[in-house]
Amino acid sequence: NAWYQESNTQGVNVGQTAYGFGISYPNDKWDGYMDYRRIEDNFNPALGFVNRRGVELVDSQMRYRHRLDNGFWQWLGGRAQYFRADTINGSIQSQSAFIHPLEGQSKRNDFFTFFVGQTKEGVIETFQLPNDIQITPGLYTSDRYGVYVETGFQRPLRMELEIADGDFFGGTRLEIRPEIEWRPNKHWLASVSMSQNHIELPQGEFTSRVFSAKLNYAFSSRWALLSLVQADNGSNTVSINSRLRYQPRADREYLLVFNQSRDRITDETLDTSIVFKAQWNFRF
């Protein structure tokens, strides 16, 4: 497939086009795709938006799967992924190249994958991390490796775990992301998760943690109460989001939303809001 778009902004004569093309090979044993996009600096669509301007994007993947007739595993295989974002003048914004040498899915939809690869990030402006650590402009190359496992969504008790290690802006970063989800019946869903990053740089080190807890209850196919609590050790805040949802039909939704932020140390309320939302979708 291929596409082309051009905007027309008053007072601008050049750099208003966006175009791209893609190819895909969607098959069971061998599966792959490649997508190319070029978005010029002054491309400004009247409807919609673009995340990046003045860039060339390449995204690709090739995967191999071998299906097994007997045993625990449904299929075993591997894949390779490549992504690159360049500015139109040729400098790298970001790049990632990863190989998953072994991955598989069981007959009960349990999944695992090992991965190893390299990322590149082009930093244009200095930015700051916790503990007053500054990352200065430059091109940073990071070698990363890790493992990801998850159990099937049909299980009453489901788990996810990702562990990744490697380089990070001239230092190292160890990332651990566990999640446990419990769905005892069609009404209840509860989950707890954590994302931890331990970062060591020549300028210093720190550990960031984000904790999340979710509790959902579906009264019926139309009514549900959805609650989420998040906390982190950076801002020392606890955020609560609770939504009472009524969905009488697929194209209409009504929400009563309660939000509150509290200081984790002093237990002081920082912000509270109650909002009513209505969403209707019209089709022509």
Tell me the per-residue pLDDT of 241-253, one tens digit each, with 9 for 90 and over: 999 999 999 899 9
Cα–Cα distance for residue pair 116/112, rounded to 1 Å: 14
Cα–Cα distance for residue pair 279/21, rounded to 1 Å: 34
pLDDT band of 257, cuts 50, 70, 90: very high
Structure tokens at 182: 């419990």
Report the chain's mean pLDDT, rounded to a whole number: 94
| Whether residue 284 has pLDDT greater than 80 | no
| Whether residue 53 has pLDDT greater than 90 | no
Encode pLDDT of 157-210 as tens digits. 999 999 999 999 999 999 999 999 999 999 999 999 999 999 999 999 999 999
Q: Give the angle 190-194-197 at the CA atoms, nearest 5°.
A: 170
Dihedrals φ, ψ of 282, to 5°? -110, 130
Pairing between β-strand 133-135 and β-strand 127-129 as defined by DSSP bridges: antiparallel
| Whether residue 11 has pLDDT greater than 80 | yes
Cβ atoms of 135 and 125 closer than 8 Å: no
pLDDT band of 235, cuts 50, 70, 90: confident
Cβ atoms of 163 and 175 closer than 8 Å: yes
Could you please report the per-residue DSSP string of the chain?
Answer: -EEEEE---TT--SS-EEEEEEEEEE-SSEEEEEEEEEE-TT---SSS--S-SSEEEEEEEEEEEEE-SSSSEEEEEEEEEEEEEEETTS-EEEEEEEEEEEEEEETT--EEEEEEEEEEEEE-S-EEETTTEEEPSEEEEEEEEEEEEE--TTSSEEEEEEEEEEEETTEEEEEEEEEEEE--SSSEEEEEEEEEEEEEETTEEEEEEEEEEEEEEESSSSEEEEEEEEEETTT-EEEEEEEEEEEEETTEEEEEEEEEEEETTT--EEEEEEEEEEEE----
Q: Which residue has the tokens 């209850």?
A: 217
| Whether residue 236 has pLDDT greater than 90 | no
Cβ atoms of 215 and 227 closer than 8 Å: yes
Q: In the chain, what percentage of residues exceed pLDDT 70?
A: 100
pLDDT computed for residue 1 by the predictor: 93
Q: Which amino acid is at 265?
A: I
Cα–Cα distance for residue pair 85/232, rounded to 1 Å: 31
pTM of the model: 0.86
Cα–Cα distance for residue pair 7/17, rounded to 1 Å: 6
Least confident of 47-51, 94-98, 167-171, 178-182: 47-51
pLDDT computed for residue 266 by the predictor: 87
pLDDT computed for residue 14 by the predictor: 87
**pLDDT mean over 33-43:** 94
**pLDDT mean over 95-115:** 97
